[in-house]
């Protein structure tokens, strides 16, 4: 399904270097239902703490999240960080919860699901189980590519088999990195409007793994239950936990303190402005403070530039006094849209205050910055 350049209309916030949509479970359910009913492309990513850690060293994995049409916070640690930073993302939207809500809500026309991946025999079990129990979904097929390369599981025969089943929602279960990579490679060729890597979902639906009780999920200790069910996961959770502790000490706590200090100074309330000088290497001039609730015109302006400009861009920060996570998330999305057009973005004359905010938001290395 053709996924063209998208306007920057989403309300997103940067958490630990990744953009997340300001949305709860009801909003996510409505977003998927709308995509299905309108045949609108919707690549859903469900970043958790493991995503955050892995994307630090894997730019392709990072880009897969930025490329998503919907990015939801699937992990209580992310919600805790959002609360600490004062971000309006206060509800965990686990991929398995999203799927379960869609499955149990009756629909006049059920959502047709195709399972791709999973361990040997699991996709078949999930296919049968969903058709037995779901009120809002029906499985229209499944395919287990086995342990092969991305290229081998992206051959025309496999893509055609999925498309011939005419699914509304493709559930991918290949391991997070591999699943996101497969989606990136094949989303333009697949006809399903909704596609998402939901690795654990296929196991939950098949009944091969039992999900943690709701109280465990709300307390943020679902990982303990997962280790009990799948002991091999303990190494991953230990590594992610240690990395998270390091991020808290070096990024999150300093950002919370520094951000609160800046909000008390005059730079925070300076009126933001943006204008564009077209010619050669186009220059976008910014001034003032760019923060949540004040970005509507900025997003519209940047969306216009995506459509009307064809050159590489320089963004002049010399008169910028403040940026928050909402602006940074928008900037990540804007840069990715430019990259898809084979265009570059350079940030110039960036004040030290803004550099510090970018470092603490864990995105400094994502941009080309000239002093």
Confidence at residue 212, expressed as pLDDT on a 0 to 100 scale:
66
- Residue 118 Cα to chain centre, angstroms: 22
Task: Judge whether 311 lies within some domain.
Answer: yes
Contact by Cβ (8 Å): 299, 9: yes
Task: State the total domains in the chain.
Answer: 2
Residue 256's alpha-carbon distances to 85, 86, 87, 251, 333, in angstroms, are 5, 8, 11, 9, 23
For residues 100 and 178, state if they share a domain: yes
Task: Judge whether 261 lies within some domain.
Answer: no
Residue where a domain stops, chosen among 191, 221, 237: 237
Confidence at residue 207, expressed as pLDDT on a 0 to 100 scale:
79
Contact by Cβ (8 Å): 77, 102: no
Q: For residue 362, what is the domain's CATH number? A: 3.30.750.24
Q: Which residues of 100-125 are buried (b: 16+ CB within 10 A; e: fewer)?
A: bbbbeeebeebbbbbbbbbeeebbeb
Task: Judge whether 210 lies within some domain.
Answer: yes
186 token code pair = 């094949």
- Residue 149 Cα to chain centre, angstroms: 24
Confidence at residue 163, expressed as pLDDT on a 0 to 100 scale:
96
Backbone angles phi, psi at 288, to 5 degrees: 95, -160
Domain that includes residue 323, residue range: 266-370
For residues 82 and 181, state if they share a domain: yes
Per-residue pLDDT of the chain (371 residues; tens, 9 = 90+): 555 556 789 999 999 999 999 999 999 999 999 999 999 999 999 999 999 999 999 999 999 999 999 999 998 999 999 999 999 999 999 999 999 999 999 999 999 999 998 888 898 999 999 999 999 999 999 999 888 999 999 999 999 999 999 999 999 999 889 999 999 999 999 999 999 999 789 988 987 777 767 777 777 777 777 777 777 777 887 888 899 999 999 999 999 999 888 878 766 666 666 666 665 568 889 988 898 988 999 999 999 888 888 889 999 999 999 999 999 999 999 999 999 999 999 999 999 999 999 999 999 999 999 86
For residues 24 and 169, state if they share a domain: yes
Length of the chain: 371
Q: What pLDDT, in 10s, does the model give residues 94-153?
A: 999 999 999 999 999 999 999 998 888 898 999 999 999 999 999 999 999 888 999 999
For residues 275 and 363, state if they share a domain: yes
For residues 210 and 311, state if they share a domain: no
For residues 80 and 43, state if they share a domain: yes
Pairwise CA distance, residues 299 & 297, whole Å: 5
pTM above 0.85, yes or no: yes
Task: Judge whether 364 lies within some domain.
Answer: yes
Backbone angles phi, psi at 12, to 5 degrees: -125, 155
- SS3 string, 195-219, reads EEECHHHHHHHHCCCCCCCHHHHHC
């Amino acid at each position: 399904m053709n996924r063209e350049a998208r306007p920057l209309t989403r309300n997103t916030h940067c958490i630990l270097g990744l953009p997340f949509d300001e949305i709860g479970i009801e909003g996510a359910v409505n977003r998927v239902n709308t995509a299905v009913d309108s045949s609108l492309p919707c690549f859903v990513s469900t970043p958790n703490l493991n995503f955050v850690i892995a994307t630090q060293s894997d730019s392709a994995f990072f880009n897969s999240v930025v490329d998503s049409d919907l990015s939801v916070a699937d992990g209580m640690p992310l919600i805790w960080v959002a609360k600490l930073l004062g971000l309006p993302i206060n509800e965990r939207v686990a991929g398995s919860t999203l799927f379960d809500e869609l499955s149990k809500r009756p629909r006049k026309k059920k959502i047709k699901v195709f399972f791709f991946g999973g361990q040997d025999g699991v996709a078949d079990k999930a296919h049968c189980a969903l058709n037995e129990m779901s009120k809002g979904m029906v499985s229209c097929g499944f395919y287990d590519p086995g342990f092969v390369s991305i290229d081998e599981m992206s051959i025309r025969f496999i893509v055609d088999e999925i498309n011939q089943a005419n699914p509304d929602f493709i559930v991918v279960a290949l391991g997070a990195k591999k699943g996101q990579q497969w989606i990136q490679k094949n989303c333009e060729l697949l006809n399903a409007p909704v596609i998402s890597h939901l690795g654990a979902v296929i196991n939950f639906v098949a009944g091969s793994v039992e999900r943690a009780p709701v109280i465990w999920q709300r307390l943020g200790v679902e990982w303990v239950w997962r280790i009990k069910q799948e002991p091999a996961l303990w190494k991953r959770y230990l590594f992610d936990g240690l990395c998270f502790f390091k991020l808290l000490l070096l990024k999150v706590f300093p950002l919370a303190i520094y951000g609160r200090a800046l909000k008390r100074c005059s730079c925070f309330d300076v009126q933001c402005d943006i204008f564009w000088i077209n010619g050669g290497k186009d220059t976008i001039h910014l001034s003032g403070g760019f923060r949540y609730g004040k970005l509507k015109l900025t997003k519209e302006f940047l969306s216009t530039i995506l459509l009307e400009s064809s050159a590489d861009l320089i963004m002049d920060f010399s008169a910028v006094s403040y940026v928050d996570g909402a602006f940074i998330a928008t900037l990540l999305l804007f840069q990715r849209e430019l990259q898809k057009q084979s265009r570059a973005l350079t940030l110039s004359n960036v004040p030290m205050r803004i550099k510090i905010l970018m470092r603490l938001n864990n995105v400094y290395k994502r941009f080309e910055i000239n002093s």
